[in-house]
Amino acid sequence: MTISTSHQEKDSTTKQHEMTRNKNLFVNFRFISWLNFFRFSAILACAIFLCVGNTTAQTKKSRVKKSAPKKQAVLNLPKVTQIDAEALKKLLKPNGKPLLINFWATWCEPCREEFPDLVKIGADYQDKIDLITISLDELSEINGDVPKFLAEVKSNSPAYLLKTTDEGEAIGLVAKDWQGGLPFTILFNADGETVYSKQGKFKTEFLRQQIEDLIQNGKKLNAFGRGRNDAVKDITEGKLILKTNEYLGRRRGLLMLVEERGIKFDYVCVDFEYIEGYNSISEKEIAQKFGDDFLLKITKAKFLNYPPQVIELTLTPK
């Protein structure tokens, strides 16, 4: 308590000193400013001039400095290999691992936007999948904008530039349902079957899930999962995610979902939280159809695209 009081005293004395000093400074400043206004203005002008001069000089210097690493970067640009339709055909065959291919172009803004995510995916799954990128830029950019951009995003995946006289043929080689819109991303399993493809920007989380599924199962998942044992395990752990190409609201869709998965259920309790107007299947109907293992409750369902061709469901056991 005593210490505190003495501190308070000291504080008040210090404050008084400070106030007096500030007052003096203010008076001094006023005195100086009124008397020496022009002199100070002149000094200020000189100072500004010097500062600007310095800044300009620094900018020039930094420009010079910046240009040096650029020259260095040019030397280290990634190699981009020109391919034709024949070479493309060979590239589409996986080499013992799942294969992720991204078709892009420097002029395609969404391609540029998604590319950093692609690079990250490539790094995260480096030993588990092969990632290649195929540019549809003009051939004149093979040593220009294409490798420059790849260097910018730090892509070290094998990079190609497709040049063909028949783009339609090349597009058809890659995927039947691709119209040529960029970007286009396609994931093959190790057997060369298409697991996932997307015209337009991919959804990173969804693509990662596809890759994870593929790595864990070693082959293409059908729309309904990996079979009874895995499914039962996943359901028991409460982390089953099913993906279906069916409109879930259609009775057939949900029945197939369960049927093709190979699981027998007492019944499935359907509780769509996010799909309105499609909750058309009753517990009783499912109870009549399926067997003896689990009561499933669909707790979450959401569209992953629109029109809903892919719907993600989270199922939890009773």
Partner 1 sequence: MKKLSFLAAAIFAFAAFVSFNNVSAKDGLAVGATMEDFKLVDASGATKSFNELKGKSGAVLVFLSVQCPVVKGYDERIVKLAAEYEAKGINVIGINSNATESADKVKTHAAETYKFPVLIDKGNVIADKLGANVTPEIYYLNEKNVLVYHGAIDNDRSGENVTINFLRDAVESNLSGKTVAKTSANAFGCSIKRAAKN
Chain contacts with partner 1 (rule: CB under 8 A): 103, 105, 107-110, 136, 138, 165-168, 171-172, 177-183, 199-200, 302-303, 306-309
CA distance 233 to 288: 24
Nearest-approach distance from CB 234 to partner 1, in angstroms: 26
101 or 296: CB nearest partner 1: 101
222 or 309: CB nearest partner 1: 309
> Collapsing DSSP states into helix, strand and coil, what is residue 299?
strand
Nearest-approach distance from CB 70 to partner 1, in angstroms: 25
Nearest-approach distance from CB 171 to partner 1, in angstroms: 4
Query: Positive or negative, the Cα torsion across 83, 97, 199, 208?
Result: negative
Beta strands 159-162 and 130-135, pairing class: parallel
Nearest-approach distance from CB 304 to partner 1, in angstroms: 9
Query: Positive or negative, the Cα torsion across 186, 192, 194, 195?
Result: negative
Nearest-approach distance from CB 143 to partner 1, in angstroms: 17
Count of residues making up the chain: 318
CA distance 10 to 209: 66
Nearest-approach distance from CB 87 to partner 1, in angstroms: 17
Nearest-approach distance from CB 285 to partner 1, in angstroms: 19
Question: Are the CB atoms for 311 and 243 separated by under 8 Å?
Answer: yes
The end-to-end CA distance of the chain, in Å, is: 64
215 or 256: CB nearest partner 1: 256
Question: Are the CB atoms for 278 and 310 separated by under 8 Å?
Answer: no
80 or 136: CB nearest partner 1: 136
Pick from 301, 225, 213: nearest CA to 261: 225
- Using CA atoms, how far residue 175 sits from 135, 190, 195, 199, 266, in Å, is 16, 16, 11, 10, 40
136 or 315: CB nearest partner 1: 136
DSSP string, 16-35: HHHHHHHHHHHHHHHHHHHH
